[in-house]
Amino acid sequence: MTATVDQPQAAPVREDGESLSSRTRRREALIATGFIMPALVLLGALVVYPMIYTFIRSFYNAKGDEFIGWDNYVTMFTSDTTFTAIRNNIIWVIVAPFTCTVIGLVFAVLLDKIRWSTAFKLIIFMPMAISMLAAGVIFRGMFQEDPNLGVVNAAIVATKSVFSDTSAYPGAKPRPDLGLTVDGGIIATDAEVATGSTIDFPLVGIRADSLGEDPTQAAPASGAGNDEITGTVWLDFVRGGGGTAGTIDDSEAGLPGVRVDAVAPDGTIAGSAQTEDDGTFSITGLDPGQSYRVALPAANFSEGATGVPWLSATFITAVVILSYVWIWAGFAMVMIASGMSAMDRTLLEAARVDGANEWKVFTKITVPLLSPVLVVVFVTLIINVLKIFDLVYVIPPGNAKPAANVIAVEMWTVSFGGGNDQGLGSALAILLLVMVLPFMIINVRRFRQERAS
């Protein structure tokens, strides 16, 4: 920046030695006004004035005809939907910018070590060019629950079936009328079982091939100590018929590797065990005198591995943040990589020659030297994340929308998407503005410092 253009307006009538007359100055100011007028009019009418309007509007009711003070702001923090939105926004701001920056940093450092760095950069950066809507469609498809449709669950299921052992018994049911019920795939005792007693699980409906070549004869469990519950899980079925339901007959096979849980009255799992080859188990370490429901978790019996419900309330925010990272990690990488190319490499070399390992070079030299760029990236991402809208609007299916909500989406729903409360909508917009404020100040300060230097 040249010094001449950099004079603060504190001395507007200062003479430059170029002896500009006040008339020329006035002329220049007039011309300048002509140059900036279109921008000023647009910014004033469509940004600044609306800001003020929204601020005032946020103190009025839904219809806008009654002043209600801070009521909208109180509603914002007390209503469940808006509060979820605010909480999710905070999660976003904590997780997304940090993740993007770290991934971008790692990629930028590793870029140096590969020959095809240009191609890599393009691949990672490419999502920046597409709309968040398209990205949303992509991620909604990828994370479908059915492993036949969603690629993520397909990969998980494929990995699971490679690593899981053969101890799953899909389709198993308990013998009826013996005090056992199936609920949501879980086989459990109807009554609570006191410690020191033995409880047996006679199961049927298991395909013979899931037992393996040479199944072990089921055995009755040994007696239980006073902090134990023992029992047997076995296939209560004799090939060719015969045998009594609920008792362990000859040539009935034990079911090894079944997980058995002791569930305390408050629903927590107090202890668990795996069955042996002969089907016996022994859950130890329980409170003597306490009673438990004994349950065989659904994982033992599920029809092969099922998909994770990624688009349900539990995981939805994580999935949407992941899609954001997919888009913006490239931004962080490109910014940081360009910061690195401007960095003084001799320092790195010197440190390496002095015997610093790569990790030390990275943490003690690369990162500190890059810290200005890292701050810029981080702040930019925070400003961007605060007003995140598209991805959250697009990815969650209807039933997960409330759980994924963020302020910008809530603001849209409340004011345009049927909520019909522009008072609350205005308050939410002002909340966004307030949250951005500290980062605005950081930007202004950085700008001032850059000019001063």
Partner 1 sequence: MTDTAAPETSEETPATAAPAPRREPLGRRIAGFFSRSVVNLLMLIVALLWVIPSLGLFITSFRSVGDSGSSGWWTVLTEPSQLTLKNYVDLLSNSTITSSLWNTVLIVVPTTILVVLIGALAAYAFAWLHFPGRDWLLVGVIVLLAVPLQVALIPVARMFGWLGIFGSIPGVIAFHIAFGLPFAIFLLRNFFSQIPHEVLEAARVDGASEWRIFSRVVLPLGGPAIASLAIFQFLWTWNDLLIGLIFTNAESQPITVAIQSQLRQFGSNIDVLSTGAFVSMVIPLIVFFAFQRYFVQALLAGSNK
How many residues interact with partner 1 (rule CB under 8 A)? 108
Task: Please choose, out of 41-49, 183-191, 260-268, 282-290, the segment that lies near partner 1 by the rule CB under 8 A.
Answer: 41-49
Q: Is 72 in the site for partner 1 (CB under 8 A)?
A: no
Instruction: Give the span between the Cα atoms of 262 and 272, in whole angstroms.
Output: 6
Q: Is 430 in the site for partner 1 (CB under 8 A)?
A: yes
As a whole number of Å, the CA-based R_g of the chain is 33
User: Among 140, 276, 283, 374, which residue interacts with partner 1 (rule: CB under 8 A)?
Assistant: 140
Burial of 190 (0-12, 13-18, 19+ CB in 10 A): exposed
User: Among 15, 40, 87, 420, which residue interacts with partner 1 (rule: CB under 8 A)?
Assistant: 40
Q: Is 46 in the site for partner 1 (CB under 8 A)?
A: yes
Shortest separation between residue 78's beta carbon and partner 1, angstroms:
21
* 282 versus 380: smaller Cβ distance to partner 1: 380
Q: Is 433 in the site for partner 1 (CB under 8 A)?
A: yes
Task: Please choose, out of 30-38, 249-257, 269-277, 362-370, the segment that lies near partner 1 by the rule CB under 8 A.
Answer: 30-38
- Footprint on residues 149-178 left by partner 1 (CB under 8 A): 149-151, 154
Q: Is 394 in the site for partner 1 (CB under 8 A)?
A: yes
| Owner of token pair 């939805």 | 316
181 membership: H or E segment, kind and range = strand 180-183
Instruction: Give the span between the Cα atoms of 206 and 174, in whole angstroms.
Output: 10
- Footprint on residues 324-353 left by partner 1 (CB under 8 A): 326, 331, 334-335, 338, 352-353
Collapsing DSSP to helix, strand or coil, 273 comes out as: strand
Shortest separation between residue 80's beta carbon and partner 1, angstroms:
21
Q: Is 318 in the site for partner 1 (CB under 8 A)?
A: no
Shortest separation between residue 76's beta carbon and partner 1, angstroms:
14
Site string for partner 1, 350-369 (x = CB under 8 A): --xxxxxxxx----------
Three-class DSSP labels, 389-453: CHHHHHCCCHHHHHHHCCHHHHHHHHHCCCCCCHHHHHHHHHHHHHHHHHHHHHHHHHHHHHHHC
| Owner of token pair 């438990």 | 292
Q: Is 8 in the site for partner 1 (CB under 8 A)?
A: yes
Quick one: angle between helices 80-111 and 422-452, nearest 10?
Answer: 30
Instruction: Give the span between the Cα atoms of 108 and 101, in whole angstroms.
Output: 10
Q: Is 148 in the site for partner 1 (CB under 8 A)?
A: yes
Q: Is 2 in the site for partner 1 (CB under 8 A)?
A: yes
Among 381, 213, 356, 194, residue whose Cα is nearest residue 287:
194
- Footprint on residues 106-125 left by partner 1 (CB under 8 A): 107, 110, 113-114, 119-120, 122-125
Residues 6 or more apart whose Cβ sits within 8 Å of residue 305: 147, 156, 157, 160, 161, 164
Q: Is 142 in the site for partner 1 (CB under 8 A)?
A: yes
* 121 versus 259: smaller Cβ distance to partner 1: 121
User: Among 74, 133, 191, 245, which residue interacts with partner 1 (rule: CB under 8 A)?
Assistant: 133
Among 274, 257, 154, residue whose Cα is nearest residue 206:
257
Instruction: Give the span between the Cα atoms of 282 and 288, in whole angstroms.
Output: 14
